Amino acid sequence: DFPSHLDDLPPTMLKKDYANVPIVNSVDDVVRRLLSLEMANQKEKVKIKTQQLVEKVRRSPNDNGSFEVQIAMLTAKIRTYEEHLQKHPKDKNNRRRMLMDVDRRKKLLAYLRRVRYDVFENTCKQLNIQYTLPPAYSRRITKRWLAKKAFCIKVFKEAQKLKAPERLKQRQEWRARARARAE
Protein backbone atom coordinates (compact mmCIF):
# COMPACT_ATOMS: atom_id res chain seq x y z
CA ASP A 1 0.00 0.00 0.00
CA PHE A 2 1.29 3.39 -1.04
CA PRO A 3 0.09 6.57 0.66
CA SER A 4 -2.47 8.40 -1.43
CA HIS A 5 -2.93 12.14 -1.74
CA LEU A 6 -6.66 11.44 -1.39
CA ASP A 7 -6.34 9.91 2.10
CA ASP A 8 -7.17 13.16 3.85
CA LEU A 9 -10.66 13.26 2.28
CA PRO A 10 -13.23 12.10 4.87
CA PRO A 11 -15.36 9.20 3.60
CA THR A 12 -18.54 10.81 4.97
CA MET A 13 -18.05 13.87 2.77
CA LEU A 14 -20.63 14.16 0.00
CA LYS A 15 -19.72 14.00 -3.68
CA LYS A 16 -19.17 17.27 -5.51
CA ASP A 17 -22.60 17.40 -7.19
CA TYR A 18 -24.59 16.61 -4.03
CA ALA A 19 -22.82 18.81 -1.47
CA ASN A 20 -25.04 21.88 -2.02
CA VAL A 21 -28.39 20.09 -2.37
CA PRO A 22 -30.58 20.94 0.69
CA ILE A 23 -32.66 17.75 0.63
CA VAL A 24 -29.57 15.57 1.20
CA ASN A 25 -29.73 16.20 4.97
CA SER A 26 -33.14 14.55 5.24
CA VAL A 27 -32.44 11.39 3.22
CA ASP A 28 -31.94 7.88 4.56
CA ASP A 29 -28.48 6.78 5.78
CA VAL A 30 -28.13 4.25 2.95
CA VAL A 31 -28.76 6.93 0.32
CA ARG A 32 -26.40 9.28 2.14
CA ARG A 33 -23.67 6.61 2.04
CA LEU A 34 -24.25 6.12 -1.68
CA LEU A 35 -23.83 9.88 -2.24
CA SER A 36 -20.74 10.12 -0.04
CA LEU A 37 -17.10 9.57 -0.94
CA GLU A 38 -17.23 6.15 0.65
CA MET A 39 -18.90 4.83 -2.51
CA ALA A 40 -17.26 7.28 -4.92
CA ASN A 41 -14.84 6.23 -7.61
CA GLN A 42 -11.31 7.57 -8.05
CA LYS A 43 -12.32 10.19 -10.61
CA GLU A 44 -14.87 11.80 -8.30
CA LYS A 45 -12.37 11.86 -5.43
CA VAL A 46 -9.78 13.52 -7.66
CA LYS A 47 -12.35 16.17 -8.67
CA ILE A 48 -12.98 17.01 -5.03
CA LYS A 49 -9.26 17.07 -4.22
CA THR A 50 -8.63 19.36 -7.20
CA GLN A 51 -11.42 21.65 -6.02
CA GLN A 52 -9.87 21.78 -2.53
CA LEU A 53 -6.44 22.66 -3.90
CA VAL A 54 -7.91 25.34 -6.15
CA GLU A 55 -9.82 26.85 -3.21
CA LYS A 56 -6.53 27.23 -1.31
CA VAL A 57 -4.96 29.49 -3.95
CA ARG A 58 -7.95 31.08 -5.68
CA ARG A 59 -7.93 34.91 -5.71
CA SER A 60 -11.70 35.34 -5.89
CA PRO A 61 -14.76 33.06 -6.18
CA ASN A 62 -14.86 33.60 -9.96
CA ASP A 63 -11.14 32.96 -10.50
CA ASN A 64 -10.79 29.90 -12.71
CA GLY A 65 -7.84 30.68 -14.97
CA SER A 66 -5.14 32.48 -13.02
CA PHE A 67 -1.65 30.99 -12.88
CA GLU A 68 -2.17 29.85 -9.29
CA VAL A 69 -5.36 27.96 -10.18
CA GLN A 70 -3.68 26.34 -13.21
CA ILE A 71 -0.77 25.27 -11.00
CA ALA A 72 -3.19 23.80 -8.41
CA MET A 73 -5.04 21.81 -11.08
CA LEU A 74 -1.79 20.49 -12.55
CA THR A 75 -0.57 19.58 -9.07
CA ALA A 76 -3.66 17.44 -8.45
CA LYS A 77 -3.18 15.71 -11.82
CA ILE A 78 0.52 15.11 -11.18
CA ARG A 79 -0.13 13.59 -7.76
CA THR A 80 -2.76 11.29 -9.26
CA TYR A 81 -0.31 10.20 -11.96
CA GLU A 82 2.40 9.59 -9.34
CA GLU A 83 0.05 7.42 -7.32
CA HIS A 84 -0.96 5.48 -10.44
CA LEU A 85 2.67 4.99 -11.50
CA GLN A 86 3.60 3.58 -8.11
CA LYS A 87 1.10 0.79 -8.71
CA HIS A 88 1.84 0.45 -12.44
CA PRO A 89 5.50 1.37 -13.03
CA LYS A 90 5.54 0.16 -16.67
CA ASP A 91 2.73 2.47 -17.80
CA LYS A 92 4.79 4.62 -20.19
CA ASN A 93 1.85 6.59 -21.58
CA ASN A 94 0.81 7.97 -18.20
CA ARG A 95 4.46 8.60 -17.29
CA ARG A 96 4.80 10.72 -20.43
CA ARG A 97 1.61 12.64 -19.60
CA MET A 98 2.82 13.21 -16.06
CA LEU A 99 6.19 14.54 -17.29
CA MET A 100 4.41 16.86 -19.72
CA ASP A 101 2.26 18.21 -16.88
CA VAL A 102 5.33 18.58 -14.64
CA ASP A 103 7.03 20.63 -17.37
CA ARG A 104 3.95 22.79 -17.86
CA ARG A 105 3.68 23.39 -14.10
CA LYS A 106 7.40 24.19 -13.95
CA LYS A 107 6.98 26.84 -16.67
CA LEU A 108 4.01 28.39 -14.86
CA LEU A 109 5.92 28.40 -11.56
CA ALA A 110 8.98 29.99 -13.20
CA TYR A 111 6.81 32.73 -14.70
CA LEU A 112 5.01 33.33 -11.41
CA ARG A 113 8.35 33.44 -9.59
CA ARG A 114 9.67 36.01 -12.05
CA VAL A 115 6.56 38.24 -12.06
CA ARG A 116 4.94 37.98 -8.60
CA TYR A 117 7.29 36.38 -6.10
CA ASP A 118 4.98 36.77 -3.07
CA VAL A 119 2.16 34.92 -4.85
CA PHE A 120 4.67 32.28 -6.00
CA GLU A 121 5.83 31.65 -2.41
CA ASN A 122 2.26 31.49 -1.12
CA THR A 123 1.23 29.07 -3.89
CA CYS A 124 4.18 26.77 -3.23
CA LYS A 125 3.48 26.81 0.50
CA GLN A 126 -0.27 26.18 0.14
CA LEU A 127 0.16 23.34 -2.37
CA ASN A 128 3.23 21.86 -0.66
CA ILE A 129 5.40 22.20 -3.78
CA GLN A 130 9.17 22.29 -3.48
CA TYR A 131 10.47 24.43 -6.35
CA THR A 132 14.10 24.01 -7.31
CA LEU A 133 15.90 26.40 -9.61
CA PRO A 134 16.77 25.00 -13.03
CA PRO A 135 20.46 24.15 -13.48
CA ALA A 136 22.75 26.49 -15.37
CA TYR A 137 23.20 25.58 -19.02
CA SER A 138 25.49 22.63 -19.49
CA ARG A 139 26.31 21.03 -22.80
CA ARG A 140 25.83 17.31 -23.18
CA ILE A 141 29.26 15.78 -23.64
CA THR A 142 29.52 13.41 -26.58
CA LYS A 143 32.49 11.73 -28.24
CA ARG A 144 32.05 13.92 -31.30
CA TRP A 145 32.03 17.09 -29.20
CA LEU A 146 35.16 15.98 -27.30
CA ALA A 147 36.99 15.22 -30.57
CA LYS A 148 35.96 18.58 -32.02
CA LYS A 149 37.11 20.42 -28.88
CA ALA A 150 40.47 18.59 -28.88
CA PHE A 151 40.94 19.46 -32.56
CA CYS A 152 40.13 23.14 -31.93
CA ILE A 153 42.63 23.27 -29.04
CA LYS A 154 45.28 21.64 -31.24
CA VAL A 155 44.68 24.15 -34.05
CA PHE A 156 44.83 27.05 -31.58
CA LYS A 157 48.17 25.86 -30.17
CA GLU A 158 49.62 25.44 -33.68
CA ALA A 159 48.52 28.97 -34.56
CA GLN A 160 50.15 30.27 -31.37
CA LYS A 161 53.42 28.50 -32.29
CA LEU A 162 53.37 30.09 -35.76
CA LYS A 163 52.77 33.54 -34.30
CA ALA A 164 55.39 33.14 -31.52
CA PRO A 165 58.45 34.50 -33.48
CA GLU A 166 56.45 37.50 -34.66
CA ARG A 167 55.20 38.25 -31.12
CA LEU A 168 58.75 37.89 -29.74
CA LYS A 169 60.03 40.39 -32.32
CA GLN A 170 57.18 42.77 -31.42
CA ARG A 171 58.01 42.54 -27.69
CA GLN A 172 61.68 43.31 -28.38
CA GLU A 173 60.67 46.41 -30.37
CA TRP A 174 58.44 47.60 -27.50
CA ARG A 175 61.25 47.13 -24.98
CA ALA A 176 63.69 49.03 -27.24
CA ARG A 177 61.21 51.91 -27.56
CA ALA A 178 60.67 51.92 -23.79
CA ARG A 179 64.44 52.08 -23.17
CA ALA A 180 64.80 54.90 -25.72
CA ARG A 181 62.09 56.90 -23.96
CA ALA A 182 63.67 56.26 -20.56
CA GLU A 183 67.08 57.56 -21.77
Q: Give exposure, 136-159, as e/b (b: 16+ Cβ within 10 Å).
A: eeeeeeeeeeeeeeeeeeeeeeee
User: What percentage of the chain has pLDDT greater than the value 70?
Assistant: 96
Quick check: is 11 in a domain?
Answer: no
| Per-residue pLDDT reduced to its tens digit, 56-112 | 999 999 999 999 999 999 999 999 999 999 999 999 999 999 999 999 999 999 999
| Domain shared by 44 and 78, yes or no | yes
Cα–Cα distance, 8 to 27 (Å, whole number): 25
The dihedral through the CA atoms of 160, 163, 165, 167 has a sign that is: negative
pTM for the whole structure: 0.66
Print the domain residue range for 98: 16-127
Give me the pLDDT at residue 155, please.
97
Give me the pLDDT at residue 1, please.
64
Has residue 166 got a pLDDT over 80? yes
- Decide if 44 contacts 15 (C-beta within 8 A): yes
Give me the pLDDT at residue 139, please.
79
Q: Please give the residue that has the higher pLDDT: either 4 or 66.
A: 66
| Domain shared by 45 and 91, yes or no | yes
| Per-residue pLDDT reduced to its tens digit, 107-146 | 999 999 999 999 999 999 999 999 988 888 887 889 999 9
Count of the separate structural domains present in the chain: 2
Cα–Cα distance, 167 to 162 (Å, whole number): 10
Task: Single out the residue in 82, 98, 127 at which a domain terminates.
Answer: 127
Mean pLDDT of the chain: 88
